[in-house]
Structure 1
Amino acid sequence: MLKDPNLLVGYDSSDDAAVYRLSESQAIIQTLDFFPPMVEDPYLFGQIAATNALSDVWAMGGEVLTAMNIVAYPDRQDLSALGEILRGGAEKVQEAGGILCGGHSIHDPIPKYGLSVTGLVHPDRIFTNNAVEAGDVLMLTKPLGSGIISTAYSAGETTEEAFLQAVRSMTTLNKYASDLFRTATVHACTDITGFGLAGHLLEMLGERFGAVLEKRRLPILPEARRCAQEFLVTAGGQKNRNVFSGHITFAPKDFVIEELMFDPQTSGGLLYAMPEDAWRSIEAQAVHLPFVPALIGRVVEQFSQEASRIVVI
């Protein structure tokens, strides 16, 4: 594989996007994401898919520049639904401050939608997902539980109000949190998506560090707690549990918190690792964000390879 010193972040680091240096003061961020519908309303699906795809640019500390549609759609299905998907996506790109400049479509029996997104960042101000330091506080910018609620709603097991709370989270751009956190010292950042809080935090910690989380501080969508209590859980959450549970200790055990940490999030929040004094410097402004960030725990030195990498107390 050809090595290029200007490729600052590539596929080898399991990060949220690729970053390529153009000059001493400018680097380009490239990312893409698309998936099938998780909601029935095509307009909301377009908004959620676009919000999710755009998020990786902010996770890297950048700003959105352009976006292109990625579309898979049945060749005999009503095109009005596709128009609503594209309308929802275009509105979110515009809200992000980006320019929608085209795309590509194919026929597929299962509809899918997302974006290929380009962003810009200063080469010295990139947020990677693997540069945490001992003592960092962990800040989460959106509540957990969108996966559980969406699944329960599709099965008729939760209310319209609960579903709309989840939709509000899934359609809130991470831009607003990013704009604030970029003004402070940040050591690492990622967005919480398919691997859930547990999986993405483990990626951030690597082999050297651990984390202690306080379950009372975890932001949770209100109805998500009830859904977990009634075992209305997701298949993706059980896959995450199987993969990641061996690295986490819950003291004491708490099934509801476990499910919410393993729950895959669609268009989840940003998870920041930063010095506590850096967080305190922006804390007053953070109350004006769509969701107030939660200090959920701290990064600690990993004492041994046998110890759990995350402890939830």
Structure 2
Amino acid sequence: MPVQGRHHRRPRVTERHGPRLPAGRAGPSTQASARPAVATFAGYGLGMRREHYPAFLAGDANVDFAEVISENFMVEGGRPLDTLRRVRAHYPVVLHGVSLSIGSAHGVDDAYLARLRRLADRIEPLWVSDHLCWTRTHAHNSHDLLPLPYTEDSLAAVCANIHRAQDALARPMLFENPSSYCRFPHDTLAEWEFIAAMVARTGCQLLLDVNNVYVSARNHGWDARVYLDGLPLQQVRQIHLAGHSPGELLVDTHDRAVCDEVWGLYAHAVARCGPVATMIERDGDIPPLEVLEAELGHARAIAARACRGARAA
């Protein structure tokens, strides 16, 4: 589909590896398969929320891409899919899921994957992403992003599910680091060690949520920069920025502006991983689009300074 914009030159998408593997070809569960990496795209985008649909439909949003919640558009037709197709005529789109349940001990759901594959084939997104979490059992979907124990058994289950999902979708996926509010007493790996091993074994890439790093680090007493530096930052393809609710326990609520501490971590991350797609998430107390566009402009300026500093170092 054509991609047109009136404010910023669209960043070029570059494919750094070979063609996709065909669907159904299984990769080993203990090492990364030969699946190609997600193409690099260094634009700035927003999560598309209903309040801002008119601007996205008209191509008037001052963004380089739009991210949408996959499940809202996993339908066979009707207004939601028509809306997404019309937006896709103006902007590249990222599909960001909340129900894959990649950490489920029961495995991933084949029917869900088939619906997601149909949507991805129709929309041709920049990439498909989801969260490092579990959300469901065989009988119940919690609609919450629930935490995982960081153990070898849990890692093996997650990696097997990622292989299954990537094969079903015939494309690599991005997975987002969680915001964390509890720890399991039998954890044997740090969160960043778990994520690094997951990437190495499956060939998936990362959606780095910098606010989640900050929230988790504050809640558990971790050093946020140690966390970031422990990740395979060369595998980051997208960064999320958001606000959180303050308090004794920080909560990732996406209902306010990005705080100064998260901006500082963003600069540190970009200096290490280079220019990648960056997005502002706002799910509550949603302001006018112009406010979010201005915040996105702040991200552009910080990233430019961080990259210049990294090159000069």
Q: TM-score, normalised by structure 2?
A: 0.25
Flag the structure with higher strand content.
1
Higher RCO (CA-CA < 8 Å; seq separation 6+): 1
Q: TM-score, normalised by structure 1?
A: 0.25
